[in-house]
Amino acid sequence: MERDTDIELRLLIEAIYLKYSYDFRDYSGASIKRRVHHALSQFECKTISALQERVLHDPGMFMQLLQLLTIPVSEMFRDPSHFLAIREEIVPLLRTYPSIKIWIAGCSTGEEVYSMAILLREEGLLDRTFIYATDINPRSLEKAKQGIFSLENVRTYTQNYQNAGGRRSFADYYTAAYDYAMFDKTLCQNVTFADHSLATDSVFSETQLISCRNVLIYFNKKLQDRAFGLFHESLCHRGFLVLGSKETLDFSAYGHRFEPLVKQERIYRKL
């Protein structure tokens, strides 16, 4: 028999879907449960049902809850060896395309976008690259567009950048002011930030490279497969798919439709 809180959780997720069209129904249960319980204390709700009542009748409340349901932990050049592998293994092949389209799916607050743009600029490819950076959280997208990051975090990013094979001084890419670093706007000249859900939306463009890192761990197998299906459809013949360092195609129905290029770094190529 289901516990009351499990029933309430399902009803909340269903209400969010029906009212706001955000579909968390196939997210990994353990994580979503923790985040909703965290929200209960944040919003001082005694029960999930009480939270549901407020969310259902107050779109502003839903937007606040969405900030807790999505996980904006990201770093620039997170897992430096991954970016080094992109530079060494993918870039030489990307160079062969006259114009390049890249999709960064689940870009959160933009750290992956700026990392990719910096890498491409250093490789002389940024001017002929078009990047689609998508996320379900409009506030994250807004932050990504602004390109302002805490200077404290930039220290970590600098270390990562160097370990990822960065060719310049990382400080060349931002202006520091007070406790913040404002990143070079020209990095995002060819970036389109857009609202897109891997759970409910479809493919919008053909791409040569898709980066979707530390997003799929929050999906169940069914939703993961939906996302892999979109990526497969979007990628050109022999296009590249890069995942987070603990994410894999191994358990997916799409596993046999990609081949590992650098397995350790979760870099795959469409077959």
Partner 1 sequence: MNQTKDRSRPPIEAIVVGASAGGVEALLRVFGHLRRGFGVPILVVLHLPDERDSQLASVFGHRLAVPVEEARDKLDIVPGTLYVATPGYHLSVEADRSLSLSLEEPVHHSRPSIDVLFESAADVYGPALLAVVLTGANDDGARGLAKVRALGGITVVQDPEEAQVSTMPEAALALHEPDHILTLQGIGQLLAGLE
Distance CA 80, CA 96 (A): 24
- Min separation Cβ 222 and partner 1, Å: 11
- Helix (H/G/I), strand (E/B), else coil: 114: helix
- C-alpha distances in Å from residue 186, one per residue of 41, 69, 164, 210: 41, 31, 21, 21
In the chain, the amino acid numbered 149 is: F
Residue (28 or 197) nearer to partner 1, CB? 28
- Min separation Cβ 26 and partner 1, Å: 12
Burial of 105 (0-12, 13-18, 19+ CB in 10 A): buried
Residue (23 or 79) nearer to partner 1, CB? 79
- Min separation Cβ 244 and partner 1, Å: 8
> By the criterion CB under 8 A, which residues form the site for partner 1?
28-31, 33-35, 71, 73, 214, 216-218, 220-221, 224, 246-248, 250-251
- Min separation Cβ 56 and partner 1, Å: 25
- C-alpha distances in Å from residue 45, one per residue of 39, 42, 51, 76: 8, 8, 6, 35
- Kindly give the pairing relationship between strand 258-262 and strand 100-105: unpaired
- Min separation Cβ 179 and partner 1, Å: 21
Residue (5 or 49) nearer to partner 1, CB? 5
Both tokens of 131, joined, read: 């990047």
Residue (44 or 250) nearer to partner 1, CB? 250
- Min separation Cβ 221 and partner 1, Å: 6
Residue (2 or 179) nearer to partner 1, CB? 2
Beta bridge mates, 217: none
Reading phi first (left if > 0) and then psi (alpha if -120 to 50, else beta), residue 13 is in: alpha
Looking up tokens 């923790």, which residue turns up?
Answer: 34
Residue (120 or 198) nearer to partner 1, CB? 198
